Structure 1
Amino acid sequence: MNKRPLLLFLLVLAALALIALLAGDQSFTRHMLIHMGVVVLAAPFLALSLIGTRYERMRADRIMTPITASLVELVTVWFWHMPALRRLADGSTFITALELSSFLAAGTLLWLACLGTRQAGTAPRLAGVIGLLLTSMHMTLLGALLTLSPRPLYGGGTVTCFGLTLSAADDQALGGVVMLLIGAAAYLAGGVALLAGLLKDENVTGTSATTMAGADLGNEHQDAPERDRARKSLTLKPSRVHAGASAPATLARGR
C-alpha cells in the first residue's frame, strides 16, 4: 500500500472532522463541504494508496468499469440528496455515518476504476476519461438544480454556518455552488488530466513509429547501391561463361 496517499487521506479525514465541529449542525453548506471533501479529496487519495495492491486486483474489471463506477456514484449521490433522506440524515448520527461511508465507498471505487487505467491500453484509459467526465456532468446538474431551485428543499427557517446566519434558501444555494466549484470542477480536471496523458502517450508512440519507418527507409536507400552492384555482377558472370564456352567452337570452325 502506498503510504503517502494514505497519509493524505487521513489528513483529509481530520480536516473534515474539524469542519463538522465548526460548522452548524443543520447547515446544508456544511453537509456539502464534507461531502465534497470525501469524494474529491479523501476518495482519490485512498484510491491512489490502493493502486497496485491486492485490493485493486480484487476489483472485477469486466463488471466495475469506469463507466459502471460512475453510474454507481450517480445513484449514490442523488439518492442521498432526496429531501426525505436528507432530513433523515440530519436527525441521526448513524444515518449520517452511513451516508458518508457510502460516499467514500462509491467515490473510491470510481477513482480506483479510472486512475487504475493509467498504465492500460487506449480503450480502458478512454473509459476512465469518460467515467470522470460523466461524473462531472451529473455533479454540475445537481449543483445547478440546488443553486437555482426557487424554494428550499431541505427545511426552512434560518441556519448557522461558520457563525453566519443564513436563510434555508441561501444555505441551499451556497451548498449548490460548493458542489459546482469543487465537485464538478475536480472530476472535470481529473478527466482532462487523464485525456492529456493519453494524447501525450499516443503522440509519443506515433513519433516513434514515424522515426522507425524513416530509419528503415534510409537503410533501404543505403542498401540500394549494393543491390545494384550485386545484380550487375550476376548479369556479367553468365556472359563471361558464354564467351568462354564459345571460344573452342570458333577455333574448331577455323580449322
Structure 2
Amino acid sequence: MKRASLLAGLALLPAGWLLAWLPLGMIGHMAGHMIAVAIAAPLLAFGLAGTAADPARRWPHIVTPMAMMLVELMVVWLWHLPVLRAAARSFPVLVIEQFCFLAAGLLLWSSVCYAPRRAAGIGALLLTSMHMTLLGVLIGLAPRALYPMAHHGLAGVDALVDQQLGGVIMLLLGAASYFLGGLALLASLLRQRSIA
C-alpha cells in the first residue's frame, strides 16, 4: 500500500508541473499547485511514513504539525501575491515555486502522518483547510483580475474568469484534501482509542 502511494505521488508530480507550465492560465497553474501540495504530497508522505526518508521521523522536533501548517500557509499565500505569481511565468521561477509547494506540502503531510502526533495533525489539517478555503474564496470572488499580467490562459477566457476558475480549483482540491485528511486522521484516532 505504501509503495503504491509513493509511486502514485511520484507519477502525479510531472502532470502537475506540466499543467503549471503550459499556457493554461490560472486554471492550469492552480491545478498544478493543488496536485503538488494537496494530492501528490499526501501520497508521498504516506509512502515515506516510518522510513529513513520520512522528514517527521528524521527531524521530529522541527517537522511538527502546527509549525509545518504555518510554513505551508506562508508558502501558499506568498506565492499568490500578484508580483510572485507574475514572476512564476519564467521557467526558473516556476521551478522554485513548484518546489516550494511540494516541499511545504510534503513537510505538512509527513508531520501529520507521524503516529505520535495524530491529534495535533487533525488541527493542522483543519486549519490548513480553512486558510485554503479563504484564499480560494478571495481569488475566486475578487471583483477584478488580481493577476492580469500573469494571464496567459485559454483562448477566449478573460483574466477574471480564469482567476475565478482557479479559485474554484483551489476550493475543490485544496480545501477538500486537507479537510478530508483531517477527518481521516480523526477516524483513525477514534478507532485506536476504541480498541485500547
Q: TM-score, normalised by structure 2?
A: 0.91
Cα deviation code 1:128-172 (max 9, x no counterpart): 1011111101000000000111111101697533xx521111110
1:49-88 correspondence runs (5 A): 49-56=47-54, 59-88=58-87
Equivalent residue for 1:102, pick from 100, 121, 128: 100
Alpha-carbon offset, residue 77 of structure 1: 0.5
Mapped partners of 1:148, 1:60: distance in 2: 39
Q: Which residue of 1 aligns with 2:6?
A: 6
Q: Which residue of 1 aligns with 2:135?
A: 142
1:146-225 correspondence runs (5 A): 146-155=139-148, 159-161=152-154, 164-205=155-196
Alpha-carbon offset, residue 204 of structure 1: 2.4
8 Å contact 2:126–2:178 — kept in the other structure? yes
AA of the residue aligned to 1:203: S
Q: Which residue of 2 aligns with 1:37?
A: 35
Q: Which residue of 2 aligns with 1:248?
A: none
Larger RCO: 1 or 2 (CA < 8 Å, sep 6+): 2
* SS in structure 1 of the partner of residue 157 of structure 2: strand
Q: What percentage of residue pairs aligned between the two structures are identical?
A: 46
Q: CA RMSD in A?
A: 1.9
8 Å contact 2:79–2:85 — kept in the other structure? yes
Mapped partners of 1:39, 1:177: distance in 2: 16
* SS in structure 2 of the partner of residue 166 of structure 1: coil
Q: Which residue of 2 aligns with 1:212?
A: none
Aligned length: 194
* SS in structure 1 of the partner of residue 153 of structure 2: strand
Q: Which residue of 2 aligns with 1:216?
A: none
Mapped partners of 1:98, 1:158: distance in 2: 19
* Alpha-carbon distance change, 63 to 54 in structure 1, aligned in 2, over 3 angstroms: same
Q: Which structure's CA Rg is the greater one?
A: 1
Mapped partners of 1:39, 1:69: distance in 2: 13
* Alpha-carbon distance change, 58 to 115 in structure 1, aligned in 2, over 3 angstroms: closer
8 Å contact 2:122–2:183 — kept in the other structure? yes
Equivalent residue for 1:111, pick from 109, 112, 118: 109
Q: TM-score, normalised by structure 1?
A: 0.71
Alpha-carbon offset, residue 93 of structure 1: 0.3
Alpha-carbon offset, residue 187 of structure 1: 0.3
For structure 1, the 5+ residue unaligned runs are 206-255
Alpha-carbon offset, residue 58 of structure 1: 5.2
Cα deviation code 1:179-224 (max 9, x no counterpart): 001100010000001001111221222xxxxxxxxxxxxxxxxxxx
